[in-house]
Structure 1
Amino acid sequence: MYMAYGWPQVIPLEQGHCPSSQRIIYLKVINRLLLVVSPSHLELWSSSQYKVRLGKYKRDPASVEREGENLQAVWSPDAKLIAVITSSFFLHIFKVQFSDKRVQIGGKQPSGLFLASISLLLSEQVPFAGKGLGVSNIVSDNKHMLVGLSNGSLYGISWKAEFFGAFQLDHCPHNRNEESALSHSCNGLAPGGGLGGFVSNHNITRNSAITQLELYIQMRLLFVLYSDGQLTSCSVSKKGLKQAELIKAEKMLGSGDAVCASIASDQKILAVGTRRGVVDLYDLAESASLFRTVSLYDWGYTVDDTGAVSCIAWTPDNSAFAVGWKLRGLTVWSVSGCRLMSTIRQIGLSSVSSPTVKSNQDCKYEPLMGGTSLSQWDEHGYRLYAIEEGSLERILEFSFGKCCLSRGVSGMTYVRQVIYGEDRLLVVQSEDTDELKILHLNLPVSYISKNWPVQHVASSKDGMYLAVAGAHGLILYDMRLKKWRVFGDVTQEQKIQCKGLLWLGKIVVVCNYVDFSNTYELLFYPRYHLDQSSLLCRKPLLAKPMVMDVYQDYILVTYHPFDVHIFHVKLVGELTPSSTPDLQYENSQS
């Protein structure tokens, strides 16, 4: 589960050449890099431990006047190319290259960041220019792009700026009776006759404009959203967007008032934002059936307050999603429908404890009061970037923590409630007054600067010791002494890539990934010393574990698809710095 903490930070953006459209058009995170595309320029920021602008490209006023403002953009999956379509229908392809010049942040630790250059590779007018058409967003795979047009057709372009022409996507029946009568209408796309041609070989087509495309490569699905609120699910060939003519309309989704959509690829869930201000969740693994609807109605807000949904962004693990509205605010929900964070003040309908907002109350300090146009999570789920509607000056950055496991598979409940952020722990402490306080534990700079971000945290059963692992190694924290314990030998620390943490009494158990052999193993360290000389045992694993848990002297390890192994651990001798105990294990059950 996710929890927001602290005040939102601000990333300042450069100002362009007086654009007529007061909005950022594109926001995307790839490989710890944040790309921002404005109407007249592009900026590349680091999305890692340090917020630094690494590169930019600013179009001159003559170029903007001649070829129009940036209208739509897409970043290639390998983060090397950026495609932009301007308002005068010019295609710009930019190349991103990193130099050898390292960014100096300050202090003794290197930042690992390098300055980047964004250069224009080509500028070419697209074949459908001058036809009075509008364009949707752009989707892409490694070699091809696809854009929707306002006449209801799709247009294919390669990353080499090859134009493949337009294809008309046919109308898909709403129900079985219509499908029986019009079975020919979902046969797919009819290739146009040459560049810029729009011809269909079927009788029934849609005339509504395409406003959004959402590509799901893993399931070979393309979702097409129209200006009239209809959402169509289409199948894509095995070769992806290279064979756009083989895209077939399969079924209609939603209630006809969709305005945006976003896919949780790992969970196979489609989130659809509507004009009613609610979000519908569809299970793509179960014939795209509707299984949940979330809204702010229970908190006293209707579509008159928030407007329609403007954007949806899933966390990297697909367990939560952020929803922005056109007129006001941003909210984060879990897949189960729990509201985790909201910038909108809670007023409530019937709750006595809910504060009531007076008509004259000053709301100027509420973030995103003017609505949310774009949102995007970082690659670890610790930061949510959001842009206010009509804003060109800044990006708001919300910090999030993740909750540690409070109850294991075995049913054991942990005393200590811990939330971990990218570089800190937030320990929940209960007071005698029944009030909860959160203690911020900043990780040692010497460790987190080299191993950012925090990836795994485990609390001992009594809650007195915490184990924390970043990109490499691990460190321990003693709640009583308020001290950190680290590896004395940094080379040993860097050899550990932790994929899971457990406490077995006074022993910390590390699931380690061995890079050179592509294998996994369990490492057993005593809590009083982190060093190779103190390693109690090393146990090889069959594969990458799905779930691990501890119950008394037993360790449970599960492998895909659901192979369960239970090990009984015995410690011979006393576990003290002055002794050398022997740790033994045996397979209890598999």
Structure 2
Amino acid sequence: MYWPTSTTRLVNSQYPLNDGDAPIKQARSSRKGVFFAVLTKNGLGVWDARPTVMQAAALRSKASLERFGNNIDVYWAHDGRGLMVLTDTSHILFYQLVPTSHPVYDDTALSTPGPGEGDVIMGWNLRSIGVAFVMGGCESILPQTSHLLITLRHPPSILEVPWPVPSHLVTPPGSHFPPPPLDGASEAQVECKSFDFSNAQWIRGEIPSKLYSHRTPGLPALHIMVTSKGRVFAVYRNSHLARLLASESPKQELENGREFIEEVIHPLPVSAQNCGSTSDLQTADSERLLDKAVEAVINLRLGFVAVGLESGKVNVISLPPWPSPPKLSHTLDLKHSGNIRVDLGRVTSMAYTGDGYCLAVGYEKGWAVWSLGGRLNGMSVMNDDEQEESNKESCIVDLFWIPGNLELFTLRHFTDFTSRQPQIEVISFSKSATTNQPSPDNTRYAFLQMDDKVLVYRGADQPDMSVINPESDVWQSIKIPAAYIAANWPIRYASISPDGKLIAVAGRRGLTHYSASSGRWKLFPDEKQEQKFQVKGGMVWFHHVLVVAVDFDRTHQLRLYSRDLDLSEILCSQNLPSPILVMTLLDNSLLVYTSDNTLFHFLILPTTFSIKLHLCGSISFRGIVTVPSRVRALSWLVPEAQKAMGDPADDLIVATIIFLIDSKLVLLRPRRARTDEVRYDLQVLADRIEAYWTHLHGVSALENSLWGYDGQDMRIWLDALTIEATRVDEHLNTYETVEESVKLRLDFYPLSILMDKGIIIGVDYETLTRTLPFPIYKIPTGSHLFLPQFLRYHLSSSPPAMNDALILAQHYQSLVYFDHALEVLLHSVLEDEAPHTSASKLDSSDMEGILPSVIVFLDHFPSSPSIIVQCARKMEIVHWPLLFSLAGKPRELFESCLKKGDVRTAASYLLVLDGLEEGGDVDDTTRLLNIALEANEFHLCEELLRFLHSIDQSGTALRTAISRVEIIPSSVLGAASTSNDGDTISSCNL
């Protein structure tokens, strides 16, 4: 859902951190991404992410370097105000960001401010707090809200230190006394805890080299530990697990047991790798450990942990809530996906976007970004030729996303620091607006979001040929008002109406909306009103009314705004008890899912003078949805009987609800218990789903179809409501697994489905570097015609669903490329079945496969002969006997085309007859030439004459045909015959 765009820009190092003798070693972002720190061996700088300017810097003296060692790493405190610098002598230098009362830069106001540059840049100072010394050798630091977790080498252990660090454990600046050693052993360190892993069986004496953590409401705190030998563990605190258990006996067992509960996630155990025995596990374990883990990153919002390996691969581990075991979801291999021949080196850094939908990976020789399901969405790799030209090798040391996730900062090191200093590069991105504002029912308009504008795909409103023509420019670029984006960057939500005419965007505060009819944006008349609320939960359009989920004065509301009125006028508001997570509008039914695991159903009811929200009901999904924050999208399918005769207010109790939870596409089917209470049966349709779409109205043959994209294929369930008819196992009380009806392999990322045109629209990435010293990133548009695969699905059923295929084809018969779709269908089936069909079966009535059904299907359309011959001309001649054994003899098809006056199709059959050596070329060509002349098809006549000349180089066949048709005077023809000059004839002007 993210793609690089435009060009890379550089961030220049500023004084005092631009010393050539002390190049940049690390660049680390704060937890919220507002600041990032730049570290050299003797200095520390803090930058604003937007605008990208240095705020403060601190240089260490020579005496400090000799006493405490050189800087090697930097860590941000949990609050984003404190910093810790680790040195090579295991000292920790503590700094604090302190605000100043004056701007850091003069505001000249000479130009319009860019996104996020509207506010005055207030200054910050870096204040030194003191120095601490860690006994045993510090490997890394993991800042938490109330403490620091410090990993130690000797002995292998974790030291927990309170944060802020007590003053008696830190030597203040300027003190001549050495800092007391931090080891958790002395009485003065009673607030510190030490967890020794020397005798722990699960870690096998390895050193915990890196720690990562994440906390999701309702789940225990997760820690990911990477060891010195390349193993990775998911670690939970027993005290955290005990708090989540309702039963007392397991709770006491946890509280009385050891401090940590661990699960190995690299290399994965037998249960996740399907090994056959313990010996298989030992063999697989030793082989996988050859590829050691070097980095890890947590995406607990969607339940994944990415593990970077020495080989350059990345294993993405699915980590369900404890105590469910982890499983390997997929592996990211850039050499395979990007068709790269050079060695990329090991993984050096990784970072997920704030929404968890995109993973950026840094390698020793480049970087790449991957979608949630494992699709490569962009990369930049230095190949061997570029290395030879520059005579330098580079390595991505650090990378991170800034707020809005539309800029990726990378720190690139070069092997030769003397001639080229490390540089911070910024790559701009565009993303699908559905990442934060899912709209499963709006399949028509692809909608991209950039830092200061949105892009709308207008191909749905264009003629058919514009959709399939890759040269057509059908993207409309709409700039967001500078006054709004400068003060409210980044944009968090973007929504487009079903007809594509209305757009709304919401940033840090307030919102603004746009009309394609007038070409104008509408802002709040009073900026103070805009700053009073924040959009949280999304926005949807109901005709000209915008429905918005907001947080206002510690309350959670639904608000309705009219495009025709000022934004200061609220048509209707509705308070809700909990924060809104996801919102979807289906017809006039508004579905609202909140953080307390409750789904609300509202009806939007227009009245004579206004519009209002009517609450129809709500349902709690406790016990069904484990973690509400992982619900990414929702919609529903209402049975036809309820649509036709039921009360819309009762839709909730009969509808099949669709959830996208983590990466799982889930159906919740209602059933009534004896107490008339509605209960739901959960059915997981597919895993690794990145986005899904539903089709509720329009093409009747595709109504209630469900489309899900898994990073490689588009998977379609043609009528998701029929899943309700699947029988229930009385013993297990579960439904049978349901496979998708159709699977489409796409070579781009899908963004919209044009149901009325039978086409999927999407984008891909493209990098231009060959003729330029810097890369340029483009986003080309791709399209896929899905009609042939759907027809094949119907025709391949047993028995063939001929009527369903004809009904589906009827909706698309008016398209200019309909014949091409049928030709693709025939070509694909013939290509698949020809190698498996022997010559003995050509005349057999019980021929296997679906080719006979396809031929029967094509006979329902008048263009069938043209489709068959066009397909034949694009196939190898060895496949022609199979095709024409079912479609009819070429001679008969040729005669049929002559009777209908379809001269161009008949001309194509002449080539088939010639290829099959059935003779009669001159006679057949002569007859066709006469008909073509009568139809004024002069260009075809010229082609027929060339055909005769090609099959008989002597010119006899050509002269015979011309004499019969009498298109050249006999005197001229006789002269040509005497001189035996074929060029005289071919040069005559018809």
TM-score scaled by length of structure 2: 0.49
Aligned residues: CA RMSD? 3.6
Structure 2 match to 1:215: 213
Aligned counterparts of 1:407 and 1:272: Cα–Cα separation in 2? 25
> SS at the partner of 1:449?
helix
Q: How does 1:110-509 map to 2 (within 5 A)?
A: 111-128=119-136, 135-151=138-154, 153-156=156-159, 157-159=161-163, 160=165, 162=169, 163-165=181-183, 200=198, 206=204, 208-217=206-215, 219-238=220-239, 246-247=259-260, 249-251=262-264, 253-254=266-267, 255-256=288-289, 257-285=292-320, 286-299=324-337, 301=339, 305-326=343-364, 328-344=365-381, 360=385, 370-390=394-414, 393-405=422-434, 412-430=441-459, 432=466, 433-435=469-471, 436=473, 438-499=475-536, 500-509=538-547
Is 2:589 the counterpart of 1:554?
yes
Give the Å deviation of 1:408: 9.2
Gaps of 5+ in 2: 170-180, 242-254, 268-287, 617-648, 653-990
Change in Cα spacing, 1:287 to 1:306, as seen in structure 2 (3 Å) is same
Gaps of 5+ in 1: 168-190, 346-356, 574-580
Larger radius of gyration: 2
Aligned counterparts of 2:568 and 2:393: Cα–Cα separation in 1? 54
Is 2:5 the counterpart of 1:5?
yes
Letter in structure 2 aligned against 1:13: S
Give the Å deviation of 1:82: 1.4
Q: What number of residue pairs does the alignment pair up?
A: 531
Aligned counterparts of 1:373 and 1:410: Cα–Cα separation in 2? 37
Give the Å deviation of 1:45: 1.0
> SS at the partner of 1:413?
coil
Aligned counterparts of 1:459 and 1:447: Cα–Cα separation in 2? 18
> SS at the partner of 2:343?
helix
Deviations 1:255-289 (A, max 9, x none): 32211111113223211011121111112224122
Choose 317-326 or 556-565, whichever is displaced more: 556-565
What fraction of aligned residue pairs are identical, expressed as a percent?
A: 21
Deviations 1:233-257 (A, max 9, x none): 33335489xx9x9346554632322
Give the Å deviation of 1:571: 2.1
> SS at the partner of 2:434?
coil
Change in Cα spacing, 1:303 to 1:82, as seen in structure 2 (3 Å) is farther
Task: Report if aligned partners of 1:164, 1:195 keep a CA contact under 8 Å in 2.
Answer: no
Letter in structure 2 aligned against 1:557: V
Structure 2 match to 1:536: 571
Q: How does 1:63-82 map to 2 (within 5 A)?
A: 63-82=64-83
Aligned counterparts of 1:217 and 1:115: Cα–Cα separation in 2? 32
Task: Report if aligned partners of 2:31, 2:80 keep a CA contact under 8 Å in 1.
Answer: yes
> SS at the partner of 2:484?
helix
Structure 1 match to 2:935: none
Task: Report if aligned partners of 2:27, 2:411 keep a CA contact under 8 Å in 1.
Answer: no
Change in Cα spacing, 1:238 to 1:438, as seen in structure 2 (3 Å) is farther
TM-score scaled by length of structure 1: 0.80
Task: Report if aligned partners of 1:426, 1:441 keep a CA contact under 8 Å in 2.
Answer: yes
Structure 2 match to 1:179: none
Give the Å deviation of 1:25: 3.0
Question: Whose strand proportion is higher, 1 or 2?
Answer: 1
Q: Which one of the candidate residues 586, 610, 613 is aligned to 1:582?
A: 610
Aligned counterparts of 1:197 and 1:316: Cα–Cα separation in 2? 32
Change in Cα spacing, 1:19 to 1:264, as seen in structure 2 (3 Å) is farther
Letter in structure 2 aligned against 1:246: E
Is 2:601 the counterpart of 1:566?
yes
> SS at the partner of 1:266?
coil
Aligned counterparts of 1:519 and 1:434: Cα–Cα separation in 2? 48
Task: Report if aligned partners of 2:437, 2:539 keep a CA contact under 8 Å in 1.
Answer: no
Is 2:26 the counterpart of 1:25?
yes
Task: Report if aligned partners of 1:383, 1:397 keep a CA contact under 8 Å in 2.
Answer: yes
Letter in structure 1 aligned against 2:501: M
Aligned counterparts of 2:535 and 2:552: Cα–Cα separation in 1? 10
Task: Report if aligned partners of 2:437, 2:493 keep a CA contact under 8 Å in 1.
Answer: no
Letter in structure 2 aligned against 1:487: F
Deviations 1:33-74 (A, max 9, x none): 1122222211111123x1121111111233224432102322
Task: Report if aligned partners of 1:408, 1:549 keep a CA contact under 8 Å in 2.
Answer: no
Choose 38-47 or 484-493, whichever is displaced more: 484-493
Give the Å deviation of 1:443: 1.7
Give the Å deviation of 1:315: 1.0
> SS at the partner of 1:471?
coil
Determine which structure has greater relative contact order: mean sequence separation of CA pairs < 8 Å that are 6+ residues apart, divided by chain length. 1
Letter in structure 2 aligned against 1:4: P
> SS at the partner of 1:540?
strand
Give the Å deviation of 1:505: 0.8
Deviations 1:406-459 (A, max 9, x none): 999885334332212333223345483433454443322222222222111111
Task: Report if aligned partners of 1:16, 1:40 keep a CA contact under 8 Å in 2.
Answer: no
Aligned counterparts of 1:501 and 1:205: Cα–Cα separation in 2? 48
Give the Å deviation of 1:548: 1.6
Deviations 1:295-314 (A, max 9, x none): 11333556952011111111
Change in Cα spacing, 1:16 to 1:138, as seen in structure 2 (3 Å) is farther
Question: Whose helix proportion is higher, 1 or 2?
Answer: 2
